[in-house]
Structure 1
Amino acid sequence: ESLAMIDAIQRLGIDHHFHNQIEQVLGKHNMILCSKDGYQGQHLHEVALRFRLLRQQGYHVPADMFKEFKDNRGRFNQELSENIAGLMELYEASHLSIEGEDILDEAGEFSAHHLKACLEHLDYSQAKVVQNKLDYPYSRSVLRIKAMSSLMILSDFQGREWINLLLDIAKMDFNMVQSLHQKEILQVTKWWKDLGLRKELPLARDQSTKWYLESLACLNDPSLSEERIVLAKTISLIFIIDDIFDLYGTLDELTLFTQVVNRYQSTYT
């Protein structure tokens, strides 16, 4: 239950309100996992969810725990092919693999294959949830942008007393954070306009909102407002340099520009 609650909190984008509580709960799960007995005889969904949440939090969690779901030929049990909830969480977990973890690569292929195969047998709402998982795994999503769409995925939690409270918090938080992001976009847009590069380089890209969204994808915690703005400005200048190379500079000019940048780097490194 505690893992399901943490998953819901993170998907709703309100985990910044519960940092300490999440760390405390996951720390206990990690201690049990590392103990002599550990967790025994767990279901696929619970094992995969615990693995993903702990690894996202920075804990060293061995991928070997998924071996218990393989048969004597070293393949994932075909019985799992009908466990949709478990397959979805296994698919999510597979995206947190590191180099050399072949078992997670196999898990990703196995779960994706069977989830795609089951789509035509599900009703519309279930198929939509599964397709959303396949298209936008948690670790590869812009969480703040997907926060409200997560309400659909959280339909499985209906009936649990705490979900309605979390949904109410998420709606209020979404409105407050949305207002913050709007102010940040205006600040970045004004900075870009005042900089005047759009007039000097009319063929260059003019995409201040896009540059801000890229910074938001990297730094989604609401408390990192100043860092988001600085990163958005940095990203904009990177794009402008790219446009200068593609559209404006001659070979000689770009060679000199590159030499200046290299000298700058060698001076400050």
Structure 2
Amino acid sequence: MSMESEVHRPLADYSANIWEDILTHFSKSELETIDMLKEKHSTLKEAVTESFMASKENQIENIKFIDALCRLGISYHFEIDIIEQLGYAFNSLDFNQLIRHDECDLYTVGLLFQVFRQFGFKLSADVFEKFKGEDGKFKEHLVADASGILSLYEASQWNTRGEDIIDQALAFSSCHLKEILFQSIPQHLAVRIKNALKHPYHKGISRIETRKYISYYEAEEKRDAVLLEFAKIDFNMLQKLHRKELACVTRWYEAMEIKSKVTYTRHRVAEAYLWSIGAYFEPQYSQARVKTAIALIIFTMLDDTYDAYGTMEELEIFTDAIEKYSICKT
């Protein structure tokens, strides 16, 4: 009997990999499809840019446009202009007074609050004071506005410590959103509310949240057809780039023969790549995504070595070797 067979190893019973090989390859036909989309993408971007610049004439509409760009996953094309315009509006006395005016409804104030805080501008929570009654509670008639309550709920996710009114807004909106789900509201709005209650969009993986919002926006009566088409094409082009990157990571994984040489580790290439997508999805970070995914695969192997293979004696030696290793040494 060999020495290896006498060693008791704490092998874990990991579930099988659920991803099919189709996710790890990228065909020439898909590359040709990208080339066909590029010209249309460029034309639509020009049109969206024109609409974005035109929206500057009305600061409220401008920020609503920015919100749509963010949720549709295309704000990265306009980052400099967005920061510029938000900074100008945030420092404008007239704009701050406009937000607090009675004509600015709950939906709008909630949306403005979200956008400003999302980009690092700490709009005061007192913009919601006008929606409270003499008893210090949010007015009950607001419940009739499903979109407004959803906007208030999403705004309350951007609270900071000590903002009591935002804490009240969260309790009020979350309670009533659950009730609104039993009312007669558009199907896409109901789905959006359910998803928001389960997981606020800005806390999710941006590509997944973008895909969801495209379907919500497509069902809206007042949707911008050009903006929607641009968002769809941009999403598809990025998705093809992401698939190409995943194929690259998979080829590295197969070339390293990890499945045959490190048999006890988890086969989680797609999951490792998804982590990198969650960190940054924009096209300019392509190399970073590939390297991050590879690093995560290596970390997974190390983790499994400790949890599902090495004995205590082996791991003490292994740990000592890792602690002594330094890439800075000459």
Same fold (TM over 0.5): yes
Give yes or no for the alignment of 1:252 onto 2:313.
yes
- 1:96–1:139 contact (8 Å) kept in structure 2: no
Q: Which residue of 2 aligns with 1:196?
A: 257
3-state SS, counterpart of residue 84 of structure 2? helix
Give yes or no for the alignment of 1:59 onto 2:121.
yes
Q: Which moved more, 1:181-190 or 1:14-23?
A: 14-23
Give yes or no for the alignment of 1:122 onto 2:184.
yes
Aligned amino acid, residue 143 of structure 1: S
Structure 2: distance between partners of 1:153 and 1:56: 21
Q: Which residue of 2 aligns with 1:13?
A: 73
Question: How many angstroms does 1:216 deviate by?
Answer: 0.2
- 1:129–1:152 contact (8 Å) kept in structure 2: no
3-state SS, counterpart of residue 147 of structure 1? helix
- 1:32–1:38 contact (8 Å) kept in structure 2: no
Structure 1, residues 50-100: CA drift from partner, whole Å, max 9, x if none?
Answer: 111111112233334333333344332222222211111111122222344
Q: How many residue pairs end up in the alignment?
A: 266
Structure 2: distance between partners of 1:173 and 1:48: 27
Question: How many angstroms does 1:103 deviate by?
Answer: 3.3
Structure 2: distance between partners of 1:36 and 1:97: 19
Unaligned 5+ residue runs, structure 1? none
Q: Which moved more, 1:92-101 or 1:105-114?
A: 92-101
Question: How many angstroms does 1:265 deviate by?
Answer: 7.4
Structure 1: distance between partners of 2:86 and 2:165: 23
Q: Which residue of 2 aligns with 1:137?
A: 200
Structure 1: distance between partners of 2:318 and 2:225: 57
Structure 2: distance between partners of 1:252 and 1:65: 62
- 1:49–1:93 contact (8 Å) kept in structure 2: yes
Structure 1: distance between partners of 2:80 and 2:170: 31
Name the % identity.
34
Superposition pairs of residues 113-262 of structure 1, within 5 angstroms? 113-123=175-185, 125=187, 126-155=189-218, 157-159=220-222, 163-262=224-323
Change (3 A) 1:23 1:207: same
Change (3 A) 1:37 1:265: farther
Change (3 A) 1:235 1:123: same
3-state SS, counterpart of residue 8 of structure 1? helix
Q: Which moved more, 1:137-146 or 1:113-122?
A: 137-146
Question: How many angstroms does 1:36 deviate by?
Answer: 7.6
Q: Which moved more, 1:130-139 or 1:221-230?
A: 130-139
Structure 2: distance between partners of 1:36 and 1:175: 38
Q: Which moved more, 1:137-146 or 1:25-34?
A: 25-34
TM-score, with length taken from structure 1: 0.87
* Counterpart among 104, 108, 117 of residue 170 in structure 2: 108
Structure 1, residues 18-66: CA drift from partner, whole Å, max 9, x if none?
Answer: 2223223212221126988463223221111111111111223333433
Change (3 A) 1:117 1:198: same
Structure 1: distance between partners of 2:111 and 2:202: 13
Unaligned 5+ residue runs, structure 2? 1-60
Structure 2: distance between partners of 1:104 and 1:234: 40
Question: How many angstroms does 1:219 deviate by?
Answer: 0.7
Structure 2: distance between partners of 1:103 and 1:173: 38
Structure 2: distance between partners of 1:33 and 1:263: 59
- Determine which structure has more spread, i.e. the larger CA radius of gyration: 2
3-state SS, counterpart of residue 148 of structure 1? helix
Q: Which moved more, 1:110-119 or 1:75-84?
A: 75-84
Aligned amino acid, residue 153 of structure 2: Y
- 1:90–1:108 contact (8 Å) kept in structure 2: yes
Structure 1: distance between partners of 2:96 and 2:236: 46
- 2:100–2:130 contact (8 Å) kept in structure 1: no
